[in-house]
Amino acid sequence: MCTRVLWNTNDVIVLTGRTMDWPESTQPVIVGFPRGRDRDGSNPAGLVSDPNPLRWTSQYASLVTTIYGLGTVDGLNEAGLAGHGLYLESTDFGPRDPAKPGVQAGLWLQYLLDQADTVAEALRLMDEIQVLKISAHGRDANLHLALEDAGGDSAIIEFGGAEPVIHHGAQYTLMTNDPTYDEQLKLLSLQDFSHPSRDMPLPGNVNPVDRFQRAAYYSALLPAPGSQREAIAGVMAIMRNVSVPFGAPYANFGVYNTEYRTVTDLTNRMYFFELSTSPNVVWIEMDRLKLDDGPVVVDPYDYSLVGDVTDRFTPRELPF
């Protein structure tokens, strides 16, 4: 399921928080990828068979969280562009246009992080490609993307057919899952959360609609931060508030538990990660990663990790 919150209105840093909600572990690995990496939009090998796969060489290094070893679902690059893949049931990538190079859905975000330095550039790249549907662990990768950059720009990209539906602008700071983003925005028109108070009724369920409105309410309550530390703590508090309690039996009505939360500091290129099954928060300073010899990884399910884990990354080759 998942929730994304962008805070681009404070005077300290640009931050994004996200939750990853899913019925099972997505087998996340935090990976630092160097620039200059050759990729194929049909990889990992055999995932899709396509006559015109997109091929590219990454222009930017990236720090990402992978999903099932098939691609990227969250992260940022060295230029200060970040992105997040969330689930949208109604996603339809449309019929295959063989004239456009294709990229499987798990590499969609990775391609944009590899090649774009701003939201505007990422949207321009969308004109040149087609996203290809894939399935993993018996579930379709029905993704919509949220993008933001260090300048505070933002975009939401959804597919309801062959052409993407894009909402582009710094005002698009919140996102959950179904319904489509047009419908989510209508929710905000029903109640003004820009001036929250203790008397304002607040939806408390775990479904995407209630989480969207709750994220709007608490985002409007964030105080001006006095430091990077305070700003990060504020966004993480919101992500915990919109999380689905671990182990709760919600899957029987289509809402899934939160596996992890992240906060991305686009200004300082730092990445914070918190498993719902561990009290430890870990973080990485991207500029300090040693990427000269290829990809490096850290396993967030290593419960011994806590605090700054930039120096705990180890080399590992990945299938994409």
The single-letter DSSP state of residue 222 is: P
- Mean pLDDT, the chain, rounded, equals 92
Residues, the chain: 320
- Split at pLDDT 50, 70, 90, the class of 245 is confident
Angle in degrees, CA 197, 198, 204, rounded to 5: 105
Number of continuous H segments (helices) and E segments (strands) in the chain: 5, 22
Enclosing H/E stretch for 166: strand 164-168
Query: What would the pLDDT profile of 96-108 be if each residue is shown by its tens digit?
Result: 899 999 999 999 9
Task: Parse the chain into domains and list their residue ranges.
Answer: 3-315
Rounded CA separation 187/211 (Å): 11
How confident is residue 266, by pLDDT bands cut at 50, 70 and 90? very high
pLDDT, tens digit, for every residue of 25-73?
999 999 999 999 999 999 887 688 888 999 999 999 999 999 999 999 9
- Reported as a single tens digit per residue, the pLDDT across 224-241 is 999 999 999 999 999 999
Which pTM was predicted? 0.95
> What value, to the nearest 5°, has the Cα angle with vertex 212 and ends 211 and 217?
95
- β-bridge pairing 307-308 and 281-285: parallel
Q: Name which CATH class applies to 3-315.
A: alpha beta
- 179-188: burial string, b at 16+ Cβ within 10 Å, e else: bbbeebeebe
How confident is the model over 116-161, as pLDDT tens digits? 999 999 999 999 999 998 888 888 888 999 999 999 999 999 998 7
